[in-house]
A and B are shown apart, each in its own frame.
Chain A
Amino acid sequence: MNPPGTDADTPVDTYMNYLFDSMGLSVREEWRAEVKHYFMLSARMAKVLEAHPVDMTEDLAPVFRP
């Protein structure tokens, strides 16, 4: 079971708690700082990606071939 949230939790902690519970993942307290660190790294990557607008009407093939 994931540790209960505290008043000191940030919105990211709350988001993590919600999702881990809903996916049936038990994440130990001592793992959470690194998990959060990597999630924030992904968030930075998403920010880099979204800085470059692309055509949102582009068809997305389910299987990619070069």
Chain B
Amino acid sequence: MKPENDAFPQAQEIAQRVRSGEWRAAEVVQETLRHIHAHNGEINAFTCITEARALREAEAVDQKVARGEDPGPLAGVPFAVKNLFDLQGEITLAGSKINQTDAPAVTDATAVRRLTAAGAIVVGALNMGEYAYDFTGENIHYGPSRNPHDRLRMTGGSSGGSGAAVAAGMVPIALGSDTNGSIRVPSSLCGIFGLKPTYGRLSRAGAFPFCPSLDHVGPLARSVTDLALAYDAMQGTDAADPVCADRASEAVSGSLADGVAGLKIAIAAGYFTQQATPAAEQALARVAAALNVTDLVEFPGTAQARAAAYLITNAESSNLHLDRLRHHAADYDPDVRDRMLAGTLLPASWNIQAQRFRRWYRAEVLKVFARYDLLLAPATPMSAPAIGQRYMELDGEQMMVRPHLGLYTQPLSFIGLPVVVVPVASAGAMPIGVQIIAAPWQEARIFKVARQLELHGFTSPIPTR
């Protein structure tokens, strides 16, 4: 099997060829496993490879094709999941040492089950920042995931293994979770596409929680088409997740080629252009130029929104972990433990004020979306920092990397807006991403613009080995 257009096979091509019988799913999976085994030592993306399951499921897909049955829209497409998603028979680590003694998951997470039902084949679980409290992709227990474009640099986190595995071509699709930016930051730093859908759009059932009032799940991929295929396969209501909205699926794959005519787009100014490095500014300018976007729009309270998201995350996650902190504090990654212990100290008033502000900010941002369909903003203030780097300088100020790398993503997930990160690559430089943001439930608009940008050359760069 040799892919047509890219050094790495893409999900769309794999599914087409497996469905037609030209490629066997078993061969695709064997080739994928070979690639993972050959490169995981350098990238450290996988913490578990589900080889036996993958080969068994691939064989089942091939048998369906042989019988003339529909093997699903993602037939034979390998994918991997951040290790906070339940995989039947595997322990859900959530990046921790503490969970190592948990019982194996009894069933797959809903997102995994839906991709599998569409014919996709899970090949393993991916490294992540401990309990998802991370923007770096570093992990003291399992080692840092490494950026395929420069292995001395961070992947971003907390879905660091997801970003690395997709950018390195190990799998065409990976799943991640995003509470404050954990899909979008690694997508930006690894130079791939990543979707954080509207809060409540995709079921989180079977995903280890971090901060339930802010948690989202979503896909990462090397192309917009693959991102859309994965997203479409995972949509739909799910009673197992009380936050999952009671909405019918709104597939986007069929409308990717519709173009962007008539869409009103603006650049998010003010907060979103402060503290950006030249790399982030130039990436945003290139995307805006490609779309002929010149309008700037500023909405108030974004610094407060980011602060409120920070406080809710700190309070809610430390509450979730209170019992573990009582009994296993020494077994945490110190960076995570210390933040969570600090979170136990937060006065209730701060958390309540943050929730109150959430409603106010949402109303303000929706006023902007009455005038514009989409907004553009940088995804991260800089490209990938070095592994181990504790501080970064933004606008002359020294800031800690771990809590601040997501300062442009955090205000948007705070109010549940859908966002796709589009990669911007430059010769000789690390990639960096730009966020395309829509009003709640308007993912289809974002996908059209992302596809348009992909056609303009905003594609996922191939790492040099």
Contact = CB atoms under 8 A, between A and B. Distances in A.
Tell me the dominant secondary structure on chain B's binding face: helix
Interface in A5-60: 15-16, 19-20, 23-28, 31, 34-39, 41-42, 45-46, 48-52, 54-56, 58, 60
Interface in B285-309: 300-301, 303-304, 307-308
Contacts of B354: 49
A38 B334 CA distance: 12
Contact size class for A? 35 or more
B357 A42 contact: no
B40 to A, nearest CB: 32
Contacts of A19: 344-345
B330 to A, nearest CB: 8
Contact of A42 (B301, B346, B356): B346
A38 B404 CA distance: 12
Contacts, number: 115
B341 interface: yes
Given A25-B325, A58-B360, A51 B342 contact: no
A38 B343 CA distance: 8
Contact of B350 (A15, A36, A49): A49
Contact size class for B? 35 or more
A10 B47 CA distance: 43
A66 B358 CA distance: 10
A27 B318 CA distance: 14
A63 interface: yes
A46 to B, nearest CB: 4
Contacts of B417: 66
A41 B403 contact: yes
Interface string B180-217: 00000000000000000011100000000000010000
Contacts of A27: 329, 341
